[in-house]
Amino acid sequence: MSEIASNRWEAESSKAPIVTAGGIAQIAIMAVFSLLFAYILFGCVQGIFGGKKATMADKYGNMTAEGGKAEAPAAPAAE
């Protein structure tokens, strides 16, 4: 009865179990997700404010099977 009166069980139950395998795993998983979020956020900021790069979409008009400049198609013969 004295243990209930001193509220020692309340102090023990409010402490997170960080030295157990489950507690360490939870901390590690939260760290991984935080780093993943930071990586994605950094990539978004870099994409918005970073320098413009030439992409495949920018080079679409110049693409051919051989990789050279595309030639204009020949006009059909008039009949």
**Which token pair is 5?**
């009166």
Q: Where are the domains of the chain?
A: 2-53
C-beta of residue 70 within 8 angstroms of C-beta of residue 62: yes
Distance between CA atoms of residues 42 and 35, nearest Å: 10
At 3 the pLDDT is: 55
pLDDT digits (tens, 9 = 90+) for 45-73: 998 888 777 777 777 777 676 655 656 66
Look up residue 50 and give its two tokens.
Answer: 């970073």
Residue range 27-41, pLDDT digits in tens: 999 999 999 999 999
Q: Does pTM surpass 0.85?
A: no
Is it the case that residue 12 has pLDDT exceeding 80? Answer: no
pLDDT at 13: 75
Decide if pLDDT at 74 tops 60: yes
- Structure letter (DSSP) for residue 19: S
